[in-house]
Amino acid sequence: MAISISLINMKGGVGKTTLTVALAEFMALEHGLRVLVIDLDPQSNASACLMDLERWKRRNMRGQTIMRLFLDPFKNWPVFSAQEAVVRNASNIGGGIAGLDLMPSGMELMDLQDSLMSVFSEQDEQSPLIYLLREALGKMLSDYDIALIDCPPSLGLITQNGLAISDYYLIPVIPETMSIHGIPQIVSRVNRFKRQTGLETQAMGIVATKYRQQNQEHLHNLSDLRAGAQKKGYQRLLETVIHESTPAANAVNFRLQPAKLRDKYASPRPFNEYRDLSREVLKYVGK
Ligand SMILES: Nc1ncnc2c1ncn2[C@@H]1O[C@H](COP(=O)(O)OP(=O)(O)OP(=O)(O)O)[C@@H](O)[C@H]1O
Ligand SMILES: [Mg+2]
C-alpha cells in the first residue's frame, strides 16, 4: 500500500505544486519507487507540468479527470473511473518516467471552479463527500509505493479528500512573516478534521521554500520555525531548505524536454535540494 502525503497550505504560490512534481520525479528516478501524483487542484498546474497538453485534452473530453470525480455526485450518472483517468509514464524527463503516474485535474472545469468551491466549502467535516477520492481509488493505491497529493490553496472539501487518504501532510511555507502567521490555523484545522472524522494523518513538518539567503527576515523566520515546531504541532522544520532560484521556477515548463533530472533541475541548485528533500521525506515515512 502506498504511503500518501498531501502537500497543503491555504496560502497560494508557496511552491506546493513545484515540490510535488520534483519530489515525484526524484522518488521515481533516484529511488526507483512507484509514484502516483494526484492533482487535486482545479488550477491543474501539476497536470500541466507532468503531461502533454493534447493527451490531457483527450482525458478532459472523456471526463476522465479528478474534477469529474467531484462533479459526479451532482450529476445523474457517474463517469469518472480512476483506472481510465490515470496517466502512465508522466513527466517531461526522458519522454516520460516509467513508474511515475498522474491522476490529472481537469482544465475544462476552470469556469466551474468557483461554484464547485462554494458547494464544497459549505460542507462540514462529516460530509460523505470527503471520501469521494478514497472510494474512487479503491485498491489502486496498492499499486504504488508513494502517492503525492497536490492540493489547492484552501482547506475545503477538495483538500479534505486528499487528507482522507493521507498518512502524512507536509506544509510548504515561504519563510516570510505573513506566511508563517497562517501556520497555527492550518494545524488546528487539520486537527479538527481528524477529531471529527476519526481519520489519522500525521504532520510531517514544514518545508521552507523560495528561501532568500540574503534576507534577514527569512533567516530569522527559519529559526523561529525550527524552534516552534513541537509547541505549534507541526512536528518539525525539515532540514532541507529550498532556495529561490530561476531553474526551480522554470521547471514547470513541460515543453522543455530534459533528458535527465540534472538537465531539468540545474546542479547544484535546485538539484541537490530536491535530492536531499526527497531522501529526507522518504526517511520520515520509512521508505
Ligand atoms: N524554489 C523556487 N524558486 C523560484 N520560484 C519558484 C520556486 N518554487 C516555485 N517557484 C515558482 O513560484 C510560483 C508558485 O509556485 P507553485 O505553483 O509551485 O506554488 P503553489 O503553492 O502550488 O501555488 P498555488 O497555491 O497557486 O497552487 C510558480 O511560478 C513557480 O514556478
Ligand atoms: Mg499549486
Cis preceding linkage at 175, omega within 30: no
C-alpha cell at 184: 497555527
Cα(45)–Cα(32) distance, integer angstroms: 24
Ligand 1 atom at minimal distance to the Cα of residue 244: 3
Output the CA torsion sign for 225, 231, 233, 239. Answer: positive
Q: What is the pLDDT of residue 73?
A: 84
Q: Which residues contact 201 (CB under 8 A, 6 or more apart)?
A: 6, 163, 166, 167, 168, 169, 190, 194
Cα–Cα distances in angstroms (integers) from residue 260 to residues 27, 158, 230, 248, in the given order: 14, 33, 38, 15
CA of 76 to the centre of ligand 2 (A): 31
Residue 222: its pLDDT value, please?
96
Q: Which residues line ligand 1 (CB under 6 A)?
A: 12-18, 41, 43, 45, 153, 209-210, 242, 244-245, 248-249, 252, 270
Ligand 1 atom 18: the closest Cα is on which residue?
Answer: 15
- The ligand that comes nearest to the alpha carbon of residue 253 is 1
Could you tell me the residue ranges of all domains in the chain? 3-284
The pLDDT of residue 174 is: 98
CA of 210 relative to ligand 2 center, distance in Å: 14
Which of the ligands is closest to the CA of residue 9? 1
pLDDT string in tens for the chain (287-residue length): 899 999 999 999 999 999 999 999 999 999 999 999 999 998 899 999 999 999 998 998 888 999 899 888 888 888 999 999 999 999 999 999 999 999 999 865 555 556 666 666 655 556 788 999 999 999 999 999 999 999 999 998 889 999 999 999 999 999 999 999 999 999 999 999 999 999 999 999 999 999 998 999 999 999 999 999 999 999 999 999 999 999 999 988 899 999 999 999 998 999 999 999 999 999 999 99
Q: In CATH, what is the architecture of 3-284?
A: 3-Layer(aba) Sandwich (3.40)
Note the Cα 61 to chain centre separation in Å: 24
